[in-house]
Amino acid sequence: MTAIVVIAKECLPGKVKTRLHPPLSLEQAAELAAASLADTLAVAGSLPATHHILAFDGVTPPPEASAWEILPQSAGGLDERLAAIFDHLDEPTLLLGMDTPQVTHELLMPVFTDWTTETEAWIGPADDGGFWALALNNPTGALLRGIPMSRSDTGAHQLRRLNEAGLSVRLLPALTDIDTISDARIVASAAPHTRFARTFAGLRTSAQPGAAELRAVDLLSRSGARS
């Protein structure tokens, strides 16, 4: 069996998804982040995991995680914080970010059913060059410490580290994670059933009229209202 960990920040204005501002206000960006996290927790909570853990940076966990084990994030850079999560566990573990609300139960189920002697790790590459998921059959933080994070080659570095450790790695599908307003538009369009998409469709920004990104948000909002 496999444990699942979602790593997340508290969704406070000015603390999450700041690259969405502008055209979104900081409050709207935080609202959108909260919707993304809620969708991720709903999917993760539906999986047959041995433990459901929220690795949380903040004071008040979201209500959707009320039945989850809360693991405070450690100090340090992102590689250190991810490494500490894997050091904390001694069973097969799937780590998910909070920025891919389009993820589905079906997409992740192989991680819970297809561990074999030929599969020791899974990685889900992100379109921006990072990764949105990482699963290790025998978790150890040493496989993540020192990986340069938040770069266009982060996923490549992580995959290379797994291969150099002699692990047999399988790939999950590539997904777009949400950093920019263009990413948000892509994800909302790909997964219109999500809370994220509904929230995005209802947003009205405080940016100056005429900005291209503002027009994109408004067009999507009107499209959502007509559907």
Collect the ranges in the chain with pLDDT lower than 70: 204-227
Query: Which pLDDT score is estimated for 48?
Result: 96
Query: Which pLDDT score is estimated for 204?
Result: 58
Query: Which pLDDT score is estimated for 117?
Result: 80
Query: Which pLDDT score is estimated for 221?
Result: 46
Query: Which pLDDT score is estimated for 148?
Result: 97
Task: For residue 49, list its beta bridge partners.
Answer: none
Q: How far is Cα 191 from Cα 218, in angstroms, rounded to an integer?
A: 18
Q: Residues 6 or more apart from 192 whose CB is under 8 A from it?
A: 224, 227
- The angle, 0 to 180 degrees and rounded to 10, between the axes of the packed helices 181-190 and 212-226 is 20
H-helix segments, the chain: 26-45, 78-88, 105-113, 154-164, 181-190, 195-201, 212-226
Query: Which pLDDT score is estimated for 215?
Result: 53
Q: In Å, how far are 10, 35, 37, 124, 212 from 20, measured between CA atoms?
A: 16, 14, 16, 23, 13
Q: How far is Cα 58 from Cα 167, in angstroms, rounded to an integer?
A: 34
In the CATH scheme, what architecture does the domain 3-171 have?
A: Alpha-Beta Complex (3.90)
* Sequence spans of domains, the chain: 3-171, 181-226
